[in-house]
Structures are given as structure tokens and as C-alpha cells.
Chain A
Amino acid sequence: MISKTVKEKTVNLFFILPALSLFLVFSFYPLIRTFQLSFFEWDGIVPQMKFVGFAQYVHILTKNPVFWKSMLNAAYITILALTLQNGLALLLALLVNREIKGDNIFRTIFFLPPVLSGIVVGLIWKWIYDGNYGVLNHFLTVLGIQGFVNFAWLAEIKTSLTAVAVVHMWKGFGYGFIILLAGLQTIPRELYEAAKVDGADAWQQFKHITVPSMISVFTIVAILTILGSMQIFDLIYSMTRGGPAGHTHVPITKIYEYMANGEFGYATAMAVVFGLILLVVSVGQIEMSRRSRK
């Protein structure tokens, strides 16, 4: 009998074995390897990997302004997305939640940009922003706004990062909108009815019913926004490649660039630093929401 369960437990492993082996080789092993490689200086070609300990980490944190610049760029995009994009998403969710006519049409349209590929979106907008042939400058001229004839939005240091951030927000707000709307719909209507009876106006209802009920949903949307915005790649790659003069580089485009230049050890060290920062930020977010609920 005992031997039968031993045999069973072993035979049953065959159910998870195909998935597990693929996962271990192509997902888990690269993860472990990232940490290991980060302690070596290696171009990926020579047989001898040079052990350098934490030297690459120290270099990234103290002698690499380009890394910090790329972090700041990603942080800038993230902060815009957290405030403007999610603010807009919440406003739209509140409006659609009022049981208006045609809410399904709006839902379909708002969630269209998130399902498009980053490359497609990036290439359309790259052309919209084009100085000479872009429709944006044409539109501004028609509206009578002066000074933007031949203005290349993505090539100007002053505007390039914000221009990319706008596209990122255009593509992303529908995602937050869908989640926030689903959250709003779980709040019992009776709560609002009762508040109305007590004479609470719309603002008070929002402050005392909507916000407290939505704290965990806000946290989820915030974390998804942070992780999505910090790890932006396709849009940057298709619109600016990190230019002009590195002004739109973000951590992932930098990691990719180091790798493309054959600096495998350095690229992985940067990936570890960046990954830890992301982890700290998202854990911090969860902690903050826990405290605010108490």
C-alpha cells in the first residue's frame, strides 16, 4: 500500500513535468543566471568570465549618470501616468458608472489603445509628431496656435520625453479605467442611497463612500501603473530609440543597449539594481495602502 502511494506520487509528477521543465529552463534559470552574471565582467564570447564582485554594482550606483538619468526619465513618465492618466481614468470611470446611455460604446473605445501593440502605437504617433508631415502641427496651425510649424516634438530635448509620456498615457488610461469601473460597480448602491437620505452631497458621498471602498483598487491600479510605466520599452524603441542625445532613455532601453554592445555582465547588474528598486517601490505601495486602511 505504502509503495503504491510512493509510486503514485512519482507517476503523477509527469503531469507537471513538461510545464515545469520548460519553466525551469527558460524562465527560472535565466533569473538565477541574471544574479550570477552580474558579478562578472563578460562580453558573452571569450571563454573566461572575469569575476569582479560588486564592482559593477558600485559603478552603476556611483559612476554612471546615464543610469540615473534613465531612472529619472522612467520616474517622470511614471509620475505623469500615476497622476494624469489615473486621474483621467477615475474621472471617466465615475462618469460611465452613472448608468449613462451608450456606456458600452465608451468602454469599447477606451479599452482599444491598450490592446494595440506598442510598436504600432509608437509608429503611428511618431508620424503624428513629425515636424514636417505630422498632423499634430497641422492641427495646431488650424487652431491658430503659432510657433509650431516644423517643430519636431520627438527630436527636441525640451519636449521629447513628455511627448513619449503622452503616448504612454494615451495607450494606458483605458486599462486603469476598466479596473476602476469594475471596482466602482462592486460598491453597494444602498450606501449611496442612505447617504442621500442623510443629506450628503455628491462630493461628500465621493469622499466618505467611494474613496474608502476603493483604496485596495487604487493600490492595484497604482502598482500596475508603476510596473508598466517603469518598464516601458516598445514605445521608446519605436519612437525615439532613447534619443535625442539620450534624453528619452529608460532602464530597459539602457539594459538592452549594454547587451547589444556585448557588455553582458554590466547589463545584468543594471537589471538587478533596477529590479530591486521596482520591488521596493511596489512593496512600499502595498504597505502604504495597508496602513491607510487601518
Chain B
Amino acid sequence: MNDKVRQLIIDIITYSILIIIALSCIFPVFWMFSSSLKTQDEVFTKMNLLPEKWQFANYSLAWVKAKFGSYFLNSAIYTVTGVFGVVFLSSLAAYGFARLEMWGKNFFFYLLISTLLIPVPGVFVPLYLLLKNLGLLDTRTGLVLCYISGGLAFGIFLLRSFFEELPKEIEEAALIDGASKFGIYWRIALPLARPAIATLIIFNSLTIWNEFLLALVVLQDKAKMPIQRGLMVFQGTHITDYPLLMAGLTIATIPVLVIYLLMQKHIVKGIAAGALKG
């Protein structure tokens, strides 16, 4: 009996702590979503949890008038092209590092990996100057190239260890059948690396979609800005239009939430494995 009571008390304390913290995690996100469906009046005069009348029109206003639609599309373009670039270039290089003989192989590999280990703040300063000299400042190409370059080291690191674990027999058989090296990479190694590539796609999507600092340094033209910058632009000019701002924040967050909830197991595993191995 005594033990049972004690167990019950421990359980109650455990759940109380977990639930309080969980609520504090959810509340700001809930508040954002709820407020995005309120009227301007309601936001300034009441603090109700749920909107009195759901103002779905806020979203069409945010999408069209506040230009969040165009910002959203820009983010989509940067994310898709950036992720594609990272996956293609790092898988190609990782296959080379894992399977092929070449000049300076180890040197190049460690050069790439060293940037993962050494903290380098403030690289955006020379990067700005470089893009300026290349005529890529304030261009979509310039921003995407920065994103791809930033994702390569981790991508190569991850995929190289994956390719090294593949049994060599499959490739040897293909070689005998007269396949080219690129053919083996393209038709055999790449499809087999699907789980690792999935991890790469998820992490780079979240990173690029949420990225702000480079988008701040590289872009000046509103028509090219991704949604993270669009939010700051909107907030700077309509400082108290909370319902529309919250609608914009929700629009920026929905893709992240969808990816997160669908791929949650993958993400959590990837974070834990990455940190504990590294």
C-alpha cells in the first residue's frame, strides 16, 4: 500500500512537470495560430484563447496583399533547388571519396570536414564581397549557391560513410557487365542510399526554409526575398497588424510542421545519432 501511494505521488509529480512544460511549448504556437484568425479589434481589446468569429479572410489578405504568397514561393524555390543541389553534388562527391582512387583524396576530404568542426562566425562579410565581385549580389543564384555550398560538408560526411558500408560485390558485378563508373553511382549506389538521402533532404529543407542571415546579407529586392525576410519586412512596416503578421508566421510555419510531423522519427533519430557519433 505504502509503496503504491509513493509510486502514485511520483507519477503525479512526473506528469505535472511534463504537462506544464509541454503546454509552455505549445502555447506560443497556439497563440500565433489562434490570433491569425482574429479581428484587429479583438486582438487589442480581448485576450480570449479562441477567436470569436474565425476570420479566414486574414489568410487571403496575408497571401495576396501582404505578399506572403510571393515570399512563400521564393522560399519554396530556394529550398527545392538548394536541397537538390546539396543532394546531387554531395552524393556524387561522397561516392568518389568512398569508392574511387584519385589525387589528394584524403587532403580534400579533411579540408571539407574541417569546416564542420571549426566554428567560423562572420563569414558572411567576405561572402558579401565575393558575391558583389561575381555580380551575384541580390540574385537568386547567389543565395542558392551559398545554401548549396553550406550543406556540402555535412552531406559528403554522411553519404561517404553510407557508401563505404555498401557491399562491393554489387558494384563489381555491374563493372563486369560493362557499366561505367557514373552509371554505377547513378543506377546502383544512389538508389541504395535512399535512407541517408532522405535524412539529408529533411535536414537541408528545414535549414534552408528557416535560414535568415544569408538571405539578409545577399538580398535587397523584395520580389526575391524568402518568407523569413518577408516576415521582417512586413513587421517593420505594419508593426501592430498582429492578425496578419500571425497569419504570415503561420504560413511560414505550416510547411515546417508538416515535414516535422511526417518525418518526426527520422529527425529525432538523425539528431541523436549525429550528436552521439560526432
Contact = CB atoms under 8 A, between A and B. Distances in A.
Interface stretch (A147-155, A203-211, A267-275): A267-275
B142 to A, nearest CB: 9
A284 to B, nearest CB: 13
Contacts of B90: 19
A224 B108 CA distance: 26
B146 interface: yes
Contacts of B92: 15-16, 18-19
Nearest to A36: B126
Nearest to A267: B125
Residue picked from B29, B119, B127, B156, most chain A C-beta under 10 Å: B119
Contacts of A118: 210, 212
A34 B253 contact: no
Nearest to A251: B121
Nearest to B131: A26
A88 B260 CA distance: 23
Given A119-B212, A124-B28, A31 B123 contact: yes
A178 B268 contact: yes
Contacts of B209: 117
Contact of B122 (A123, A170, A174, A271): A271
A268 B125 contact: yes
Given A267-B125, A268-B125, A279-B118, A113 B228 contact: no
Interface centre among B24, B93, B132 (most CB of A within 10 A): B93
B66 to A, nearest CB: 14
Interface in A120-178: 120-121, 123-125, 127-128, 133, 135, 138, 170, 174-175, 178
B93 A109 contact: no
A282 B190 CA distance: 36
A278 B115 contact: no
A271 B121 contact: yes
Contacts of B126: 29-31, 33-34, 37, 268
Nearest to B100: A12
Contacts of A1: none
A157 B256 CA distance: 34
Interface in A1-50: 5, 8-10, 12-13, 15-16, 18-20, 22-23, 25-31, 33-34, 37, 44
Q: Which applies to chain B's interface (DSSP): helix, strand, loop or mixed?
A: helix
A98 B96 CA distance: 45
Contacts of B64: none
B125 A20 contact: no
Contacts of B26: 109, 112
Interface residues of B, number: 86
Interface string B209-222: 11011001100000
A18 B89 contact: yes
Contacts of B261: 108
Contact of A34 (B31, B122, B231, B242): B122
A95 B17 contact: yes
Contacts of A15: 92-93, 95-96, 100, 102, 181, 185
Contacts of B119: 227, 231, 275, 278-279, 282
B122 A275 contact: yes
A278 to B, nearest CB: 4
B22 interface: yes
B223 interface: no
Interface in B107-122: 108, 111-112, 115, 118-122
Given A22-B149, A116-B256, A179-B271, A255 B47 contact: no
A92 B151 CA distance: 32
Contacts of A186: 276
Given A15-B92, A22-B149, A270 B156 contact: no
Contact of A270 (B108, B118, B122, B145): B122
Of B21, B181, B232, chain A has the most CB atoms within 10 Å of the CB of B21
Interface of A: 5, 8-10, 12-13, 15-16, 18-20, 22-23, 25-31, 33-34, 37, 44, 88, 91-92, 95-96, 98, 100, 105-113, 115-121, 123-125, 127-128, 133, 135, 138, 170, 174-175, 178-179, 181-183, 186, 217, 220-221, 224, 227, 231, 233-234, 237-238, 251-252, 255-256, 259, 264, 267-268, 270-272, 274-275, 278-279, 282
Interface of B: 11, 14-15, 17-18, 21-22, 24-26, 28-29, 31-32, 43-44, 47, 89-90, 92-93, 95-97, 100-103, 108, 111-112, 115, 118-130, 132, 145-146, 148-150, 152-153, 156, 181, 185, 206, 209-210, 212-213, 216-217, 228, 231-232, 235, 240, 242, 245-246, 249, 252-253, 256, 260-261, 264, 267-268, 271-273, 275-276, 278
29 contacts: A10-B103, A12-B102, A15-B102, A19-B92, A19-B156, A20-B112, A29-B130, A30-B130, A37-B126, A95-B17, A100-B14, A106-B18, A107-B268, A115-B206, A116-B29, A117-B256, A118-B210, A118-B212, A119-B252, A120-B252, A127-B245, A128-B31, A179-B276, A181-B272, A231-B119, A264-B129, A268-B126, A270-B122, A271-B121
